[in-house]
Structure 1
Amino acid sequence: MTTRDDTRIFEKFSQYIALVGRGQKSGKTMNQAQAQDAMARILNNEALPEQVGALLMLLRMREETTEELSGLLLACRQTLPQSISTLSSIDLDLGCYAGKRRHLPWLLLSVILLAQQGYKVFMHGLEESDSNRLYLDTVFTSLNIPIAKSVEEAKLHLAQRNFCYMSIKDLHPQMASLLGMRHTLGLRSCMHTLAKMLNPANAKASVHGVFHRELDNHHIEVAKILGESKVACIRGDSGEVEATPEKAFSMQYLQSKNALTREFPVLLSQWSHQTRQLQVHALPQVWCGELDSPYGHAASIGTAAVALSCMENLSTEDALSKAQKMWDERNKVWPIV
């Protein structure tokens, strides 16, 4: 039963709907403080489901400003579990929310490659059960790689193999619930963008993947507004944080408060055929040298190079050279038993 106090709380939230929803001529954008307050109210259940859906869809139709995204992101970070702060010295954050359609998630081999060199990598994502894409939850389960269900388990996995994966359902249940509204609303919202930007473990570097043009610039501008450094974004395969070796691509990145661009060349001269079914067990086979996959090799090297370029401020050539050397000298024993 809704009380009078509840009504007052919900009326406070309606001001943000009115602010952005008055139409093309009268509608305005929220400043950072307003966006942060709006998201804080959502995450604290101080908005009705109808209000939440209305605001998210209004923002999608108009497209969020970088100032709005920065405020929304701050509220999401402030409601992370306090235990996440005990994860320290994470080198790389990867938000993996897009899933794969045409190719396997070769980014996993890039992560293992970096982990063998001592880099600690924190991965997070969400599986959308009604999607025809392949998500890391399924990949990890199929390959018997444990998924961390808590921060303590994440610490254990990082200690054992220098990388871990957590579902946002366990990491930030409120955000997971909002991400799940896609099934009700029929469209994705800014929550998917915020999840990729989240960097929950406060890693030293964070690399994002997007699909649509110009969104990579948005990610970097938000990081700049929030005073972050060592943040990079690429237009990755299927929108995932994975290099597309069949064509040249750009890495937008932030180093020492400067927004810059690095160009990566075509890494695979021959276009790869799309497979009808993604065979997950090809990942360890390629790693162990039992199966040859020119695409998988090029995607793994390219993704590792993007991460190295961001973490160590390496040029494209140096990053690719270092990633290839790491691949050639890797321990070919599959690291997860």
Structure 2
Amino acid sequence: MALDVLLMEGSVSRAAERLGMSTPAMSRLLGQIRETYDDPIFIRSSRRLIPTPFAESIRQRLRAVAAEAEALFQSRQSVSGGVTIDPALWSGEPVIEAAPLTSRPSILLEGEPLPEAFARKLSVLGNAEDARKRLAKHIATAGAGIGNSRPLTITEAEDALSIILEGRADPVQVGALLSVMNFRGETAAELAGLVRAVRSHIRAADPATSPVDLDWPAYISPKSRRMPWFLQSALLLAGARYRILLHGSDGGGNTKGMLVSAARALGIPICASITAAMNAIAEHGIAYLPVAAMSSQVHRLLSLYGLFETRSPINSVMPLLNPLSAPSSMMGVVRPAYRELHRDAGVLLGYGDMTVLGTSRDAAEATPFRSSTLLRLSAGTTEDLFVPAVPEPKAYPLTGMTSLEYWRAVWTGTVRDERATTIICATAAIALLTLSGGKAGPLEVCQATAEGLWETRRKDVRIGTGMLCPAVKQT
């Protein structure tokens, strides 16, 4: 962890501050690292520490290990406090059936080559087909091994994923590209290119005619056992005449069908296409758009989690998708190292107002009971906003209700849950800050506004009755 932070900060003093250590202690630790690896690790310049070739060669592996450790720590934190879900009561069959992932017949590789040999073989695949050969070149560019590879450019990343989304890739190539990028870690340029490919594939709305004020991605981890309070925050803003698009995945495991069940419970329209979502928002001010309604290919790529047992770059793409090109977006990003990456990708994509939250799920929901930092982007300007923790109210066990009934009862006022209300209002406050481009005043002002909206909300659930809004589905 210490070497990972040193490589990111390029400064002993800043790394020490980040890890809560004294500068002399960090200097001693760096000395031990140098002795262990028998390498200087850094070369000092006038401005910062420059990693040696050896340090550069292990940077990505260190980042992967550190990110996994951070994720494990966060998952440990996320299970404490609050009411957890009963998966059986929230699950259900998907409302949108996605077609199988489309690909070309596989060209088998001989034996089981090492990654370097694998990349060389891929580079000569598909001589008879330009698209497959182009994809092979992209894989070889990114995965030929230390000293022989480099990150993809925006254009290369866009082209690579476009070939996959069009169903022209060899299935071996699909796994190879996603695995290589995931192992090395995506760059902001690669992530922006992947987002551009998916937006083109789903025919994202023209920003000039967007019918939405706020894009709210909700791609929940299959292992989550927490109630989706952020949906009530979104509904709160819709009641204040903000136009909100929720889009996400029903996931699998504990969360299969959770968002659909929750949307139905509060009457949020569930839409079968981008066109249907536009119509629902025009009529009701809010809609939930499952990823399968946008693209079967994207849905199936996300579903590869079960085969990889790890996240892929497609998971990183979805928070930035913004299918209706809303002027503002608010996203939750699980991995700490990826939060700044998403903001940097947002800059490259030309996004306007954006807020990235640290969260235990890939949905924008505040964590008010521990301090956090909001990564803001407004009109091309970046800002980090520190949010102090507030005292956590006591969580009470369920009494005579299922978890889904309890969750809905908080909205209708049948149940008073101070902890849940704090999460809902804190999340709505961040959304208000995002919607205003930071012009609504300090976060405390937005918090007071959100609390006022909660007290005056319409507690009877009508909205769009939570029914499926059919339309011609886009491929």
Q: Does TM-score exceed 0.5, indicating one fold? A: yes
Q: Which moved more, 1:217-226 or 1:24-33?
A: 24-33
Match of residue 403 from structure 2 = 279
Aligned residue in 1 for 2:288: 165
Is 2:278 aligned against 1:151?
Answer: no
State the distance in 1 between where 2:127 and 2:350 align. Answer: 37
Instruction: Select 1:293's aligned residue among 409, 413, 417.
Output: 417
Sort the Cα spacing of 1:332 and 1:9 in 2 relative to 1 into closer, same or farther, 3 A. Answer: closer
Which whole-Å deviations, capped at 9, do the CAs of 1:188-247 have from their partners, x for residues lacking one?
201111111100000110111011112111111011112221011101243421011221
| Residue 75 (str. 1) matches residue 202 (str. 2) | no
TM-score in terms of structure 1 length: 0.91
Query: Aligned pair 1:116/2:243, yes or no?
Result: no
Question: What amino acid does structure 1 have at the position aligned with 2:212?
Answer: I
Pairing 1:43–2:165 present: yes
What is residue 220 of structure 2 aligned with on the other side? 98
Alignment pair present for 1:328 and 2:455? yes
Select which of 1, 12, 15 maps to 2:137. 15
Letter in 2 for 1:262: L
Displacement of 1:305 after TM fit?
0.7
Task: Tell me the equivalent position of 2:444.
Answer: 317
Contact 1:122 1:165 (C-alpha < 8 Å) held by counterparts:
yes
Cα separation, 2, equivalents of 1:268 and 1:148? 38
Q: Which has the larger Rg?
A: 2
**Corresponding residue to 1:32 among 147, 150, 154:** 154
Would you say the 8 A contact 1:95–1:195 is kept in 2?
yes
Equivalent position of 1:56 in the other structure: 178
In structure 1, distance between residues paired with 2:256 and 2:293: 21
In the TM superposition, residue 8 of structure 1 has moved relative to its aligned partner by 4.3
| CA deviation after TM superposition for structure 1 residue 318, in Å | 1.4
The separation in 1 between residues aligned to 2:189 and 2:159, in whole angstroms, is 13
Pair 170,85 (structure 1): closer, same or farther in 2 beyond 3 Å: farther
Q: Matched residue of 2:404: which SS?
A: coil
State the TM-score, normalizing by the size of structure 2.
0.65
Structure 2 CA distance for aligned equivalents of residues 109 and 98 of structure 1: 16
Q: In the TM superposition, what whole-angstrom CA distance separates every residue of 1:299-334 from its partner, at most 9, and x where no partner exists?
A: 110110111111111321111111111112222222
SS in structure 2 at match of 1:280: helix
Contact persistence 1:103–1:274 (CA under 8 A): no
Measured in 1, the distance between the counterparts of 2:204 and 2:181 equals 29
Cα separation, partners in 2 of 1:38 and 1:326, compared to 1, 3 Å: same
SS of the residue corresponding to residue 329 of structure 2 reads strand
After superposition, the Cα gap between the structure-2 partners of 1:19 and 1:82, relative to the gap in structure 1 and judged at 3 Å, is: closer
Supply the AA of the counterpart residue of 1:281.
E
Per the alignment, residue 213 of structure 1 pairs with 336
4+ residue segments displaced more than 6 Å: 1-5, 82-87
Number of matched residues? Answer: 336
Moved more, 209-218 or 151-160: 151-160
1: CA distance, partners of 2:172 / 2:254: 24
Structure 2 partner of 1:230: 353
Distance change (3 Å), C-alpha of 1:145 and 1:239? closer
* CA contact 2:268–2:286 (8 Å) conserved in 1: no
Q: Which moved more, 1:187-196 or 1:144-153?
A: 144-153
In structure 2, relative to structure 1, the CA distance for the partners of 1:60 and 1:131 (3 Å cut) is farther
Q: 1:86 to 1:220 in 2, by over 3 A?
A: closer
Alignment deviations for residues 124-149 of structure 1 (CA, whole Å, 9 cap, x no partner): 11112334577312323455644111
- Aligned to 1:214, the other structure's residue is in SS state helix
Question: Is the contact between residue 267 and residue 462 of structure 2 (CA under 8 Å) also seen in structure 1?
Answer: no
SS of 1:124's partner is strand
Question: For 2:411 and 2:255, how far apart are their aligned partners in 1?
Answer: 25
Q: Percent identity?
A: 26
Query: Which structure 2 segments of 5+ residues have no match?
Result: 1-103, 108-125, 466-475
Separation in structure 2 between the aligned mates of residue 284 and residue 188 of structure 1, nearest angstrom:
31
Alignment-derived partner of residue 258 in structure 1: 381
In the TM superposition, residue 24 of structure 1 has moved relative to its aligned partner by 2.8
Separation in 2 of the partners of 1:199 and 1:286? 29
Distance between the aligned counterparts of 2:268 and 2:204, measured in 1?
26
Q: Distance in 1 between matches of 2:396 and 2:361?
A: 15
Look up the match of 1:65.
187
